[in-house]
Structure 1
Amino acid sequence: MHSWTDTLRFAFQPVVNLTTGGVAALEILARPEAGDILAEARRDPELDGRLAVLAFRAAVRKETLLPLHVNVFAGTLADLGGLSALHDAVREAGRLPWEVTVDIVPPYTHVPQRALLEAVTVLRRQGFRISADGVGDGDVPLRLLTDLSPELVKLDASLLARPAAVRAMRTLCDELGALLAVEGVETESQCTAALAAGAQLAQGELFAPPARLPAADVYVPPRSPGVVPVPRSGPSVRQFVRPAALLPAHASAGQVRALLTGSPDVSGVLLVDAAGVPVRSVHRSRFLLTMSGRYGHALYADRPAAKLGDPPRTVGVDATAWEVLDVVAVGGRDRTSDDVAVVDGRGRCVGVVRLADLVRALAESRVEEAAGLNPLTRLPGSDAITGEVDRRIAGGRAFALSWLDVDHFKQVNDGAGFAAGDELIRAVGRTLELAASGATRVGHIGGDDFLVLSDPDGLGELASAVLDVPWAAGGLPVTLSLATVVCGPGSVHDHRQAAASLAPLKKAAKALRGASWVLARAGAPGHEVLRGSEGASVAS
Structure 2
Amino acid sequence: MHTWSDSLRFAFQPVVNLATGAAAALEILARPESGDVLARAQREPELDGDLAALALRDAARRESLLPLHVNVFAGTLADLGGLDALRRAVREAGRLPWEVTVDVGPPFTHVPHRALLEGVDALRKEGFRVSADGVGDGDVPLRLLDDLAPDLIKLDASLLSRRATVRAMRTLCEEIGALLAVEGVETETQCAAALDAGAQLAQGDLFAPAARLPAAKVYVPELRPAVRAQRPAGPTVRDFVRPAALLPETASAEQVRRRLTGAAEVTGVLLVDAAGVPVRSVQRDRFLLSLSTRYGHALYADRPAARLGDRPRTVGVTATAWEVLDVVADGEHTRTADDVAVVDDDGRCVGVVRLTDLVRALAESRVEEAAGLNPLTRLPGSDAVTGELDRWVAQGRAFALSWLDIDGFKQVNDSAGFAAGDELIRSVGQALARAESDAVRVGHIGGDDFLVLADPERLGPLAAAVLDAPWSAGGEAVTLSLATVVCPPGSVLDHRQAAALLAPLKKAAKARSGASWVCGQAGREGFDVRRGARATAAACARGGAPTTG
TM superposition score category, shorter chain reference = over 0.9
- The separation in 1 between residues aligned to 2:400 and 2:278, in whole angstroms, is 43
Per-residue Cα deviation, 1:32-53 (whole angstroms, up to 9, x for no partner): 2221211111111111111110
Q: Is the 2:72–2:105 contact (alpha carbons within 8 Å) kept by the matching residues of 1?
A: yes
Per-residue Cα deviation, 1:378-429 (whole angstroms, up to 9, x for no partner): 2100000111111122223333322110001111122222222112111111
Tell me the secondary structure at the aligned position of residue 226 of structure 1. helix
Q: Is the 1:185–1:205 contact (alpha carbons within 8 Å) kept by the matching residues of 2?
A: yes
- The separation in 2 between residues aligned to 1:207 and 1:28, in whole angstroms, is 16
Equivalent residue runs for 1:116-265 within 5 Å: 116-229=116-229, 234-265=234-265
Q: Is the 1:28–1:55 contact (alpha carbons within 8 Å) kept by the matching residues of 2?
A: yes
* Deviates most, 243-252 or 502-511: 502-511
In the other structure, the counterpart of 1:87 is 87
In the other structure, the counterpart of 1:270 is 270
> How far has the Cα of 1:11 moved from its partner?
0.9
> How far has the Cα of 1:525 moved from its partner?
3.9
Q: Name the Cα RMSD after superposition.
A: 1.7
> How far has the Cα of 1:130 moved from its partner?
0.6
Aligned length: 535
> How far has the Cα of 1:523 moved from its partner?
3.0
Equivalent residue runs for 1:435-514 within 5 Å: 435-514=435-514
In the other structure, the counterpart of 1:538 is none
- The separation in 1 between residues aligned to 2:453 and 2:47, in whole angstroms, is 57
Tell me the secondary structure at the aligned position of residue 294 of structure 2. coil
Q: Is the 1:73–1:106 contact (alpha carbons within 8 Å) kept by the matching residues of 2?
A: yes
- The separation in 1 between residues aligned to 2:103 and 2:242, in whole angstroms, is 19
In the other structure, the counterpart of 1:279 is 279
* Deviates most, 13-22 or 80-89: 80-89
- The separation in 2 between residues aligned to 1:102 and 1:469, in whole angstroms, is 60
Q: Is the 1:513–1:534 contact (alpha carbons within 8 Å) kept by the matching residues of 2?
A: no
Matched AA of 1:286? R
In the other structure, the counterpart of 2:324 is 324
For normalisation by structure 1, the TM-score amounts to 0.96
> How far has the Cα of 1:233 moved from its partner?
5.2
> How far has the Cα of 1:118 moved from its partner?
1.2
Q: Is the 1:197–1:228 contact (alpha carbons within 8 Å) kept by the matching residues of 2?
A: no
Tell me the secondary structure at the aligned position of residue 514 of structure 1. coil
Per-residue Cα deviation, 1:436-458 (whole angstroms, up to 9, x for no partner): 34532211001110112223334
Q: Is the 2:233–2:365 contact (alpha carbons within 8 Å) kept by the matching residues of 1?
A: no
In the other structure, the counterpart of 2:547 is none
In the other structure, the counterpart of 1:393 is 393
Tell me the secondary structure at the aligned position of residue 429 of structure 1. helix
Tell me the secondary structure at the aligned position of residue 204 of structure 2. coil
- The separation in 1 between residues aligned to 2:64 and 2:366, in whole angstroms, is 37
For normalisation by structure 2, the TM-score amounts to 0.94
Tell me the secondary structure at the aligned position of residue 533 of structure 1. coil
Matched AA of 1:431? A
- The separation in 1 between residues aligned to 2:344 and 2:360, in whole angstroms, is 24
Tell me the secondary structure at the aligned position of residue 513 of structure 1. coil
In the other structure, the counterpart of 1:300 is 300
Tell me the secondary structure at the aligned position of residue 352 of structure 1. strand
- The separation in 2 between residues aligned to 1:266 and 1:533, in whole angstroms, is 70
Q: Is the 1:471–1:478 contact (alpha carbons within 8 Å) kept by the matching residues of 2?
A: yes
* Deviates most, 120-129 or 523-532: 523-532
Tell me the secondary structure at the aligned position of residue 318 of structure 2. coil
Tell me the secondary structure at the aligned position of residue 312 of structure 1. coil
> How far has the Cα of 1:83 moved from its partner?
0.2
Unaligned runs of 5+ in 2: 536-549
Q: Is the 1:198–1:228 contact (alpha carbons within 8 Å) kept by the matching residues of 2?
A: no
Matched AA of 1:483? A
- The separation in 1 between residues aligned to 2:466 and 2:360, in whole angstroms, is 38
- The separation in 1 between residues aligned to 2:398 and 2:407, in whole angstroms, is 29
1:346 paired with 2:342, answer: no
In the other structure, the counterpart of 1:44 is 44
Matched AA of 1:184? G
In the other structure, the counterpart of 1:75 is 75
- The separation in 1 between residues aligned to 2:169 and 2:271, in whole angstroms, is 35
Q: Is the 2:398–2:455 contact (alpha carbons within 8 Å) kept by the matching residues of 1?
A: yes
Matched AA of 2:439? A
- The separation in 1 between residues aligned to 2:340 and 2:454, in whole angstroms, is 34
- The separation in 2 between residues aligned to 1:258 and 1:181, in whole angstroms, is 32
* Deviates most, 82-91 or 381-390: 82-91
* Deviates most, 461-470 or 49-58: 461-470
In the other structure, the counterpart of 1:29 is 29
Q: Is the 1:101–1:131 contact (alpha carbons within 8 Å) kept by the matching residues of 2?
A: yes
Q: Is the 2:230–2:387 contact (alpha carbons within 8 Å) kept by the matching residues of 1?
A: no
* Deviates most, 431-440 or 343-352: 431-440
Matched AA of 2:140? V
* Deviates most, 381-390 or 436-445: 436-445
1:383 paired with 2:387, answer: no
Unaligned runs of 5+ in 1: 536-540
